[in-house]
Amino acid sequence: MSTPSVTKPAILSVDDDPGVSRAVVRDLRRRYGADYRILRAESGAQALEALREMKLRGQPVAVLIADYRMPGMDGIEFLEQAMDLHPYARRVLLTAYADTDAAINAINVIDLDHYLLKPWDPPEEKLYPVIDGLLEVWRSAEQRPVYETKVVGDRWSPRSSQVREFLARNQLPYRWYPVDEPEGTRLLEAAGADPLTCPVVITAAGTALIQPTDSELAENVGLTVEPSGDFYDLIVVGGGPAGLGAAVYGASEGLRTVLVERTATGGQAGQSSRIENYLGFPDGVSGSQLADRARRQASKFGAELITTRDVVALEINGSARTVRFADGGKLCAHTVLIATGVDYRRHPAPGVDEFTGRGVYYGSAMTEAAECAEQEVYIVGGANSAGQAAVFLSRNALRVHLVVRGDSLERSMSHYLVRQIAGIDNIVVHTETEVVGADGDTHLERIILRDNSTGTEDKVDAQRLFLFIGAAPQTGWLDGVVLRDAAGYVLAGPDLMVDGARPPGWELPRPPQHLETSVPGVFVAGDVHAESAKRVASAVGEGAMAVMLVHRYLA
């Protein structure tokens, strides 16, 4: 029996030549029309628009077929962007014999599944066997279901903000319903809840979760919260760029690898609206896209990704290294990689803590961007993360105020970002300035700015304040086990060797390897590593290097 058309998976063909496009669709419909929606587009842009619409409607896409030579956006560029919308769709490139080198290169660039030489006649021999195989792979692949989760809450509730941010950072689509709007009220009634019990999360299966914890959320929306085993070759603690890089390289090189993340993969980089200086992305890439691709890549190689598990202790038990969780569970391995990154420092000004989640946000809080339309928005910080947030929010906000304690942005921000900010009319940079107070009623309404060059203070209206004020490693769970510097960053390799002496308790005949901590078999990578570069590329590189050193240790 054929599947009803509204639920049929789609096969989409993209070709700027109408004759070729019609021929492809004709052959596809003849074979697959009963069970699949056969769609065509005549440009990459047109096809991406159709894919976005299908994404919003939760309609699955099974196969994408794109011609290599198209004006404006060639087939490789189209398939690369389509991956972010429908990562599980199988990808095929149509190419002429002269372009086979480009097709072969695309296998690595966009994880291409197949390329077809034109013409493909007869389709029974050259087209259908390829599509049959790809559809079989697509049907059997483990895919994350598309959830239409509903979140009902107060727009000024800190926990409602945290729930939305949790879902967004884990790439889980949801719809937001303010509790004071009619549809929000109807959903609360259906769930048997009231405004005082918000936030309420209603899953696609119809389960109502009242004030859920992150763990309860994860369990009910399809995230993995339990490891499949008790012992691994490598435990990666932290899911930022360093941790994801290690998970990809560890799993791809045969190590039984598990990554444990407290909240969401991507770390601080995953919250960046646009990273433009990362190698291989000349047009930039959002932190969430980069994190999602890395997560899919790690899973593809067999790494396990466990979320909402908070590591609170590290133990050394003979040759085993054990991490303990806040809920009492534990996990053991031959080696451990510490890649927990850093958290933003808390702002000391009076009133700021009181309004956290109610107008004050640490980091970019991408879920709040839509609420900033036509508002005066304030951002505190002078590093790249603050600059990226300013550029992003300037698209909708009436004006973005970048508050910097230093006398210029050049001291701490990349040159390309300084130039971008200088060219955006609605971004105002306040140097030698800091926030010294915040107040309001039920949410943030005003902040107090102090000009440090003159000592004058000014109270200004503000409903959104985003804070990027430096970072601190959260490494208290390593107390008494792994050596750290005075600020809490983890020491490794040469930094452990004082006057040529090995660290206390080191029993191996060799000195610590470059990223190895004071405990043999325990490594560190990324921002939590003392004296690290604090850049995405260097974090990924350290994650990859750590895996090489893990192999040496195991050997």
Give the model's confidence band at 120: pLDDT under 50 very low, under 70 low, under 90 confident, else very high.
confident
Taking Cα atoms as reference points, which of 194, 196, 175 lies closest to residue 186?
194
Looking at mean pLDDT, say which of 140-149, 233-242, 272-281 comes out highest. Answer: 233-242
Residue 109 has pLDDT above 70, yes or no: no
What pLDDT, in 10s, does the model give residues 432-464?
999 999 999 999 999 999 999 999 999 999 999
Among 208, 222, 184, which Cα is nearest to 307's? 222
Task: Domain 149-220: give its CATH code.
Answer: 3.40.30.10
Q: Where is pLDDT greater, at 118 or 209?
A: 209
Helix 75-85, helix 44-57: angle, nearest 10:
10
- DSSP per-residue letters across 234-269: EEEE--SHHHHHHHHHHHHTT--EEEEESS-TTTTG
* Distance set, CA 198 to CA 16, 163, 352 (Å): 50, 11, 23
**Four-way CATH pick for 5-140: 3.40.50.1100, 3.30.1330.40, 3.40.50.2000, 3.40.50.2300:** 3.40.50.2300
482-512 pLDDT, tens digit each: 999 999 999 999 999 988 889 998 989 999 9
Q: What is the dihedral of CA 440, 442, 443, 445, to 10 degrees?
A: -30
Alpha helices (H) along 409-491? 415-422
Burial annotation 147-175 (CB, 10 A radius, 16+ → b, else e): bebbbbbbbbbeebbbbbbbbbbbbbebe
Q: What per-residue confidence (pLDDT) applies to 268?
A: 83
Q: Rounded to the nearest 10 degrees, what angle do helices 241-252 and 536-554 cross at?
A: 40
Residue count (the chain): 555
* Per-residue confidence band for 145, with pLDDT thresholds at 50, 70 and 90: very low
In one-letter notation, the amino acid at residue 287 is G
CATH of domain 353-471: 3.50.50.60
Q: What dotted CATH number matches 231-342+473-554?
A: 3.50.50.60
Which of 101-105, 329-333, 404-408, 454-458 is least confident?
101-105
User: How confident is the model at residue 447, as a pLDDT?
Assistant: 97
Q: What are phi and psi of 362, to 5 degrees?
A: -90, 125
Same fold for the pair 5-140 and 149-220: no
Indicate whether 179 pLDDT > 80: yes
- The answer to whether the predicted template modeling score (pTM) of the entire model surpasses 0.85 is no
At residue 5 the predicted structure's pLDDT band, cuts being 50, 70 and 90, is very low
Domain ranges of the chain: 5-140, 149-220, 231-342+473-554, 353-471
Q: Tell me the Ramachandran region of residue 203: left when phi exceeds 0, alpha when psi lies from -120 to 50, beta otherwise.
A: beta
Could you tell me the pLDDT band of residue 52, with boundaries at 50, 70 and 90? confident
